[in-house]
Amino acid sequence: MARKKKPWLFLCRCGPNIAEAIDLDRVASAIGSTMEVASVETHDILCSPDGQQWLQRRLRRGGLHPVVVAGCSPREHLETFRGVCREAGRNPHLLAMANIREQCGWVTPDRTAATDKAIRLVRAAIRRATLLEPLEEQQVDCNPDVLIIGSGVAGLQAARLLAGAGRHVILVERSPSIGGRGPRLADLYPEMECASCVLEGLLDEVLHHPLVEVLTCAELTRLAGAHGQFSATIRRAPRGVDEAACFGCPQCIEACPVSAPSELEEGLATRRAIYLSYPGALPNVPVVDRSTCLHFRGDPCDACARACPFGAIDLDQTETFVTREVGAVLVATGAELADLASTWGPDLPGVYTTMALERMLNSSGPTAGKVLLPDGRRPASVALVHCAGAPDGTRMGACSVVCCMAMAKYAQQLAQKLPETTIHELLWERSTPGKGYLEFASASRAAAHGRLKPIRLEPTERVSVEQARISQGSGAGSRRRRTTPNLVLRFRSGGKGPARRPLRVEMVVLAPPLSPSASTDRLAHLIGVEVGQGGFVLEPGPKVAPYQSSVDGILVAGCATGPKDIRAASAEGAAAAGRALSSLVPGRKLELEPYRAAIDPEHCSGCKTCVVVCPFGAVRFDPELRVAQVEQRLCQGCGSCAARCPVGVATAPGFTDGQLLAEIAGLLG
């Protein structure tokens, strides 16, 4: 082993900043007399252009002497002096700094005490520097491609823009069809354009773009690495249908003997065990639901497979795993309507959520655009209940942003489609910010021509719904009444006077709050992004970086961070794409972390402790060799592996145990 060279020590006076606080001459002579340095020189302002030139000339003397600069904080100028080393043709990592300014001279009023402390700090830096090794600086191409999780409007917008700029996009969607909630809506406020028409172009462009790889029935199972070089493992659940072979005819669906309630039709219609999520869903390929399909419940049924003219049904399909390398990840997992069963009671006939009403209003929905009760009649009266989030119908305290506008829209649409129906609108507050939103809401109400009866509830009022007792009677009229769902809205005043009189209606529409989609929590946990209020993904800098999660390289957009409407989600998707385009530029090199760890395979015991502890998934266990290995591209230089290795075979260059212990000894000796 080469004999260690003694360091060259440079003391910086930092103008008067250090010189006044510390007797640098005494430091120089104290250190010089330890014989642990090859030279000691002092300069007035090392970081100045003159100072850097002066230093560079001295460093050009060559040799592998490590350099110690005693001056300001390494957080200020370590990079500066590294640059000087590079200019002088020396390895920039044979350099240590002693912070005798911020953490010595400036915090120690007594000059003698400050000088004593400075001597310790410098000696510690010298002991450490003596053990430094030259570290290789390596550059790699950063990966400009992006993984997008979630194919709602935000994800689609980002995919389109990224692919348009030539980036490869991997679009991972948990469900069998892309598009999120948007395409299932009827008309979009305030323009009142048909949702599928507005979104069709976007969906189509993304689905068929050559640079976009759409993976449906898919979810992320592992993410290793860091910004610029992630490695993602994605699990694809078996669809039961070969997407490449399927031509989208409905033969298999029609042949299926099973009937089940359709989730995406909000229970308003049924579907088969092999089904397309909703009319017009993309990709136009059905999916087999194993929980209802007879084939997976002990029955040898293969009606769909026999009916398919293209042999596209494959009931033996198994899950597959794929790995993709990307530079950034976009979390666009959206939100979903909260389940109201626990707060509003079991499903009562005639009580619908806003989404169910959207499906009814949708011309290709289960009722072909008509608003009907379960028995097929038009309701004579409808109650629209805002803020149906909490028990007893009080506001939860968290606004879901979209419902007030949606209710204004429904007021307009119901007034149009049901010219004889009374519409009661129950609300505590109205919230319609946005360009043209207030005008829209006012106009909608005016369009209802007096059949709209708003009920402004007091803050302490509570609402609940129940089925009315059906009155006894005889004759056809009473028979009809017995089959009519009759609902009663009951009010509780919360102590402020008598309760409002109950309101009897035939249909109730509840606006549930938006909560984070079911997969968000698991995903956030998996990839290490923080969630905040309500379980939505946190944006640490919502004003200046609304697209940024708590993890560098992982972006966020859309309802994943909180409820918002399509316009805002679309804008956020574009923002995230912009960020990815500016931070991952093809051809721009990524510096590999010079402090990347190394594991000695000769002495590794294979205990996997380092694999467990690496926050970036950068350590892999080789099952054949039974040792661990660091993936150099992914290592971020935190030193966790070196810290936790029980046998000390993982090294953290630049901060080895030997260097740290030498520094500690230098401080205390």
Partner 1 sequence: MSKFEPRIVGLMCHHCSYAGADRAGQSKSPLPTGFLPVRVMCTGRIRPEHIMAALQQGADGVLVLGCHPKDCHYRTGNLRARAAVGLTSRLLEGLGLHPERVQLEWVSAAEGEKLARVVNAQARKLRRLGPFRPASG
Partner 2 sequence: MSKPRIAFGWLASCGGCEEAVLDLNETLLFDVAPQVEIVFWPVAIDAKLHHLEAIEPQGILACFLNGSVRTREMAEMARLLRSKARILFAFGSCAHLGGIPSLANTTTTRDLLETAYRSAPSNAGRNKHLPGGAGRVPPLTAWAHPLKDLVEVDYFLPGCPPPPALVAEAFLALLAGKLPPRGHVFGEEQALCSSCSRLPKKPEDLTIGRLRRVYEVEAPADECLLAQGLLCLGPATRGGCGERCLKANMPCRGCFGPPADVADQGAAMLTFLAAHAPVDSGEQAVLQFTESLVDPVGTCYRFGLSPAVAGCYRESSKTGRTRARRG
Q: Rule CB under 8 A: which residues touch partner 2?
A: 525, 603-613, 621, 623, 626, 643-648
Residue 270 or 605: which CB sits closer to partner 2?
A: 605
Element (H, E) at 639: none
Based on the number of CB atoms within 10 Å of its own CB, is 543 exposed (0-12), middle (13-18) or buried (19 or more)?
exposed
| Residue 647 binds which entry of partner 2, partner 1, none, CB below 5-8 Å type-dependent | partner 2
Place of tokens 């979009």: 188
Describe the chain by its helix, strand, coil percentages, rounded to 5. 30, 20, 45
| Residue 106 binds which entry of partner 2, partner 1, none, CB below 5-8 Å type-dependent | partner 1
Give the binding range for partner 1 (CB under 8 A) out of 44-52, 485-493, 558-566, 631-639.
Answer: 631-639
Tell me how many residues contact partner 1 (CB under 8 A). Answer: 47
Phi, psi of 520 (to 5 degrees): -60, -45
| Residue 477 binds which entry of partner 1, partner 2, none, CB below 5-8 Å type-dependent | none
Residue 101 or 160: which CB sits closer to partner 1?
A: 101
| Residue 38 binds which entry of partner 2, partner 1, none, CB below 5-8 Å type-dependent | none
| Residue 550 binds which entry of partner 2, partner 1, none, CB below 5-8 Å type-dependent | partner 1
Reference 460, options 498, 423, 488; nearest CA is 498
| Residue 169 binds which entry of partner 2, partner 1, none, CB below 5-8 Å type-dependent | none
Tokens read off for 481: 């009444």
Bridge partner residues of 599 (DSSP): 650
Position 594 contacts partner 1 (CB under 8 A): no
Selected binder of partner 1 within 311, 541, 658, 669 (CB under 8 A): 669
Contact call for residues 545 and 539 (beta carbons, < 8 A): yes
The CA distances from residue 133 to 39, 84, 97, 262, 654, in Å, are: 19, 18, 15, 65, 7
Rounded CA-CA distance 391/463 in Å is 9
Element (H, E) at 510: strand 507-510
Position 309 contacts partner 1 (CB under 8 A): no
- Minimum distance of partner 1 from residue 661's CB (angstroms): 5
Position 74 contacts partner 1 (CB under 8 A): yes
Residue 588 or 603: which CB sits closer to partner 2?
A: 603
Tokens read off for 178: 């892309």
- Minimum distance of partner 2 from residue 602's CB (angstroms): 9
- Minimum distance of partner 2 from residue 593's CB (angstroms): 21
- Minimum distance of partner 1 from residue 636's CB (angstroms): 6
Position 102 contacts partner 1 (CB under 8 A): yes
Site for partner 1 in 520-539 (CB under 8 A): 528, 530
Residues 6+ apart with CB under 8 A from 39: 8, 9
Position 222 contacts partner 1 (CB under 8 A): no
Reference 646, options 596, 617, 605, 615; nearest CA is 605
Q: Is the dihedral of CA 125, 127, 133, 134 positive or negative?
A: positive
Give the binding range for partner 1 (CB under 8 A) out of 259-267, 437-445, 503-511, 632-640.
Answer: 632-640
- Minimum distance of partner 1 from residue 540's CB (angstroms): 9
Rounded CA-CA distance 507/380 in Å is 8
Contacts of range 254-261, beta carbons closer than 8 Å, 24 or more positions apart:
254/307, 255/303, 255/304, 255/306, 255/307, 256/303, 256/304, 257/294, 257/301, 257/303, 258/292, 258/293, 258/294, 260/289, 260/292
| Residue 623 binds which entry of partner 2, partner 1, none, CB below 5-8 Å type-dependent | partner 2
- Minimum distance of partner 1 from residue 219's CB (angstroms): 21
Reference 56, options 82, 77, 87; nearest CA is 87
| Residue 604 binds which entry of partner 2, partner 1, none, CB below 5-8 Å type-dependent | partner 2
| Residue 660 binds which entry of partner 2, partner 1, none, CB below 5-8 Å type-dependent | partner 1
Reference 94, options 170, 6, 187; nearest CA is 6
Helix/strand/coil for 120: helix
Position 544 contacts partner 1 (CB under 8 A): no
Place of tokens 């005490």: 113
Position 155 contacts partner 1 (CB under 8 A): no
Position 629 contacts partner 1 (CB under 8 A): no
| Residue 611 binds which entry of partner 1, partner 2, none, CB below 5-8 Å type-dependent | partner 2
Residue 118 or 357: which CB sits closer to partner 1?
A: 118
| Residue 230 binds which entry of partner 1, partner 2, none, CB below 5-8 Å type-dependent | none
Contact call for residues 186 and 194 (beta carbons, < 8 A): yes
Tokens read off for 108: 């120690």
Reference 84, options 40, 62, 51; nearest CA is 51
- List residues binding partner 1 (CB under 8 A): 73-76, 99, 101-103, 106-110, 113-114, 116-117, 120-121, 124, 528, 530, 550-551, 595, 613, 615-616, 636-640, 642-644, 652, 655, 657, 660-661, 663-665, 667-669
